[in-house]
């Protein structure tokens, strides 16, 4: 199986992503690092461990990472993910303990000790990933790439133009895009498209497998929250899980390599991913002017049905 390390802010859809990754036979989850985002980092750790319990997962190390973004204060998304950050599911507290060395050491070892290059999958603000790449640049040599949920070609959710994960820690996202590791950006343009319809998530909620039933309830929560967003189809979003689907089956995504720049300026555009769609691969300039940003494989389209079926 292909080795992956997930970085999460569990998170309704992060939970779906963890479930998919742990259950998919072609993926080997070598570790999960946690960061402040949808909820505070201690809640994120507790949620992630509780989800592993429901999955009856093997002993996958879970590390506690950053409590706040590189420069700013943490700003959670409990209005979307519930007061526990996990759709108010009231899961029993886990008896698993987090990895003693913290998230950075966990990721460092999970990557360096892997016999095959690892795909790093940030599904949250990229604070931990930025710190890892700065503190231990040697990990880059055993990375197959980074597949990140973050950003958008157009539009936002945290603000009119910024996606939550990039908006929460724009400096971290800028560091990650510029680190010289191949990045695939699974942004809002594809993230918002893969939904599970009510008939299906209701059937999942009645499944005797507790993990499948939890997935059904999380999808129902997601649908209740995003029902009014005209950009999202009729159903519960698989969200972050779609990025993991794309690791398992990269052909589900249509990508284009474009320069991406993260807006760090204070004000209206902070956290926006500015994608230079004028750029033609192989040419070093756009209309004779250097393009800002680093080349990223930007997901433009996703095979919605195949991704949903793979997730299910």
Query: Which residues are near Ca ion by CB under 5 A?
Result: 9, 11, 14, 123-124, 240
Tokens of 256: 């284009």
Looking at beta carbons only, is 109 or 147 nearer to Ca ion?
147
Looking at beta carbons only, is 126 or 175 nearer to ligand BDR?
126
Residue 49 CB, nearest approach to Ca ion (Å): 16
Residue 239 partner contact from Ca ion, ligand BDR, none using kind-dependent CB cut-offs of 5 to 8 Å: ligand BDR
Residue 169 partner contact from Ca ion, ligand BDR, none using kind-dependent CB cut-offs of 5 to 8 Å: none
Looking at beta carbons only, is 81 or 108 nearer to ligand BDR?
81
Cα separation, 239 vs 13, in Å, equals: 5
* Token pair 């129902």: residue: 220
Cβ count near 31 (within 10 Å): 24
Residue 125 CB, nearest approach to Ca ion (Å): 8
Radius of gyration of the chain (CA): 18
Residue 122 partner contact from Ca ion, ligand BDR, none using kind-dependent CB cut-offs of 5 to 8 Å: none
Looking at beta carbons only, is 13 or 297 nearer to ligand BDR?
13
Residue 157 partner contact from Ca ion, ligand BDR, none using kind-dependent CB cut-offs of 5 to 8 Å: ligand BDR
Looking at beta carbons only, is 77 or 179 nearer to ligand BDR?
77
Residue 280 CB, nearest approach to Ca ion (Å): 33
The helix (H) or strand (E) run that includes residue 237 is strand 236-237
Looking at beta carbons only, is 49 or 121 nearer to ligand BDR?
121
Residue 7 partner contact from Ca ion, ligand BDR, none using kind-dependent CB cut-offs of 5 to 8 Å: none
Residue 163 partner contact from Ca ion, ligand BDR, none using kind-dependent CB cut-offs of 5 to 8 Å: ligand BDR
Strand partners for 253: 302
Residue 195 CB, nearest approach to Ca ion (Å): 17
Residue 137 CB, nearest approach to ligand BDR (Å): 25
- Which position's Cβ is nearest ligand BDR? 164
The helix (H) or strand (E) run that includes residue 5 is strand 2-8
Looking at beta carbons only, is 39 or 110 nearer to Ca ion?
39
- How far CA 62 is from CA of 65, 104, 175, in Å, comes to 10, 11, 23
Residue 32 CB, nearest approach to Ca ion (Å): 12
Cα separation, 142 vs 118, in Å, equals: 6
Tokens of 239: 């969200």
Looking at beta carbons only, is 31 or 271 nearer to ligand BDR?
271
Strand partners for 196: 236
Cα torsion through 248, 254, 259, 262, rounded to 10: -60
Residue 290 CB, nearest approach to ligand BDR (Å): 30
145: left (phi over 0), alpha (psi -120 to 50) or beta: left
Helix residue ranges per DSSP H, 206-261: 210-226, 240-248
Tokens of 68: 């706040």
Residue ranges binding ligand BDR (CB under 6 A): 11, 13-14, 38, 77, 80, 123-124, 149, 157, 163-165, 239-240
Residue 208 CB, nearest approach to ligand BDR (Å): 27
- The residues near 171 (Cβ < 8 Å, ≥ 6 apart) are 69, 70, 71, 130, 264
């Amino acid at each position: 199986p292909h080795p992956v390390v997930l970085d999460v802010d569990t998170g309704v859809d992060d939970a779906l992503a963890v479930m998919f990754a742990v259950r998919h036979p072609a993926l080997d989850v070598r570790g999960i690092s946690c960061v402040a985002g949808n909820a505070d980092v201690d809640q994120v750790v507790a949620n992630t461990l509780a989800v592993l319990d429901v999955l009856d997962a093997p002993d996958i190390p879970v590390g506690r990472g950053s409590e706040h973004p590189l420069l700013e204060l943490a700003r959670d998304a409990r209005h979307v993910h519930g007061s526990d950050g996990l759709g108010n599911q009231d899961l029993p507290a886990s008896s698993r303990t987090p990895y003693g060395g913290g998230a950075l050491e966990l990721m460092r070892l999970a990557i360096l000790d892997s016999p095959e290059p690892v795909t790093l999958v940030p599904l949250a603000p990229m604070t931990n990933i930025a710190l890892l790449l700065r503190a231990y640049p040697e990990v880059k040599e055993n990375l197959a790439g980074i597949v990140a949920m973050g950003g958008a070609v157009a539009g936002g959710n945290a603000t009119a133009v910024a996606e939550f994960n990039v908006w929460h820690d724009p400096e971290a996202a800028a560091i990650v895009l510029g680190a010289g590791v191949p990045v695939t950006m699974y942004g809002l343009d594809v993230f918002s498209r893969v939904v599970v319809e009510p008939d299906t998530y209701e059937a999942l909620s009645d499944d005797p497998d507790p993990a499948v039933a939890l997935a059904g309830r999380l999808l129902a929560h997601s649908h209740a929250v995003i029902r009014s967003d005209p950009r999202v189809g009729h159903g519960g979003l698989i969200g972050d899980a779609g990025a993991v689907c794309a690791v398992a089956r990269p052909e589900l995504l249509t990508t284009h390599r474009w320069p991406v720049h993260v807006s760090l300026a204070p004000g209206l555009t902070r956290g926006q991913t500015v994608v230079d769609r004028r750029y033609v691969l192989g040419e070093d300039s756009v209309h004779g002017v250097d393009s800002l940003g680093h080349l990223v494989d930007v997901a433009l389209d996703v095979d919605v049905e195949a991704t949903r079926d793979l997730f299910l």
